Structure 1
Amino acid sequence: MTPTNQVMMSALAQATQQPTDGVAGWAIEMMEKLGAPGAGLAVALENLFPPLPSEVILPLAGFAANRGDLGLVSAIIFTTLGSVVGALALYGVGALLGRDRTRALIGRLPLVKLEDVDKAEDWFNRHGAKAVLFGRLVPVVRSMISVPAGVERMALPLFLALTAFGSLVWNSALIIAGYALGEKWHVVESSVGVLQYVVLAGAVGAVTWFVVVKIRSRSSADEKVE
């Protein structure tokens, strides 16, 4: 085990109080061997099989960037790409199998609860396309929101765009927090509930501002035509 790997394993063990010879250790191995693409791979698989939450992987990637083991920007890019790939896989399952067969499949998977799928489905039914964007900022919903989007055959380009933007915002927030905190990166996991609402409020504000600017711009253009 290299010195970098030892530091990462020790940091993870202290933060999570869990053994690091399973998925956690594998995630760290991926980051050490593959760099930022390894972090992206870990996040992609976390979307499908969540034994190690992204609330741990992302701040840990930020800590690795703080140490110089990863590039901060590349960590954000690759983890966002991993999020999109994992989400696309779940979208494909929902689209190909439909609601009932997808639920039956998920019900047989370890560490995945049908209640989580129901929560994401309810979120999607109430909020539509906005659920895909803002759902990426909400634990549990973040992974499972892709399933009802696939079942309902949401337009794929729109799904990918909203997923990428929402993932970029969330991944950046957690990675930068881990980077800023350094060896205290694990504080992010315990504070993720507060961070979630801060990021969600910021995202809603940004989208609202964008819509207002577009409406004003269109109104100005109409007035000039008249």
Structure 2
Amino acid sequence: MDWLTQVVERWGYLGLVAVVALENLFPPIPSEVVIPFAGFLTTFGMLTLPGVIAASTLGSLLGALVLYGAGRALGRHRLEALTRRYGHYLGIQIEHVERAEAWFARYGAWAVLVGRLVPIVRSLISIPAGLAGMPGLMFAVYTVAGTLVWNTALAGAGTALGAAWPLVQEWVRLYQRVLLMAALVLVAVWVGLRLAARPRK
């Protein structure tokens, strides 16, 4: 945390772009620390809020494009080959890959947009977008739209809280817990409906 904030404090917008790009490549680097801190720096006049939002969004896009490119480079055929060779170790079959591709072809744009608002998922969603062959321009547009909302919220909170900006990290953790609980409830409901729909012997 100290190293990340020092990079942003010393290098300004350039440091923010670099750190946020790394956050997309390595999810353990927390954007909920870096971006609110940059928002806090705007209260000293070192940075501006529009500049922080623009720099963090650029960093998010650059990091996302790297993972998207990795997905495109891997490609469907290599993924199928890896699935046939190693998938049984993880219980994954070709049918699962095909279903995932069909789902992404139908909901991919929304998955990228909404996924940018979910910690961890916001980084990883770039890979299936590349694997599914989502057009690069569409991917970039939805990535920018989603990250713009996320980064504006974090930077704005950092500016508003001032010296209390570390509170944002606690709020994001609470947000993660709520999302996790909601996901577990949805899975439980889905499993219950599937079991109820099964014909009784």
Match of 1:54 among 5, 27, 31: 31
Does the CA-based 8 Å contact 2:27-2:120 persist in structure 1? no
With 80-89 and 127-136 compared, the bigger mean Cα shift is at 127-136
Aligned to 1:185: 165
The yes-or-no answer on 1:175 pairing with 2:152 is: no
Matched-pair contact (CA < 8 Å) for 2:39–2:157 = yes
Q: How many residues align?
A: 158
Tell me the distance in 2 between the aligned counterparts of 1:187 and 1:122.
40
2:137 counterpart of 1:157: yes
**1:24-43 alignment, distance < 5 Å:** 24-43=1-20
Q: Deviations over 1:129-183 (max 9, x none)?
A: 1010111001111000000000111011100000011111110100000110001
Structure 1 residues 25 and 149 mapped into 2: Cα distance closer, same or farther (>3 Å)? same
Q: 2:55 aligns with which of 78, 88, 99?
A: 78
Instruction: Name the CA shift for 1:91/1:101 in 2 (closer, same or farther; >3 Å).
Output: farther
> Using CA pairs below 8 Å that are at least 6 residues apart, which structure has the higher relative contact order?
2
1:66 maps to: 43
Q: TM-score normalized by structure 2?
A: 0.70
Q: Which runs of 5+ in 1 are unaligned?
A: 1-23, 104-119, 197-226
* Cα pair distance change 1:124/1:190, threshold 3 Å: farther
Unaligned runs of 5+ in 2: 84-99, 177-201
Identity rate, percent:
51
Q: 1:136 to 1:30 in 2, by over 3 A?
A: same
Deviations 1:167-211 (A, max 9, x none): 111101000001100011111111125668xxxxxxxxxxxxxxx
* Cα displacement (A) at 1:33: 2.7
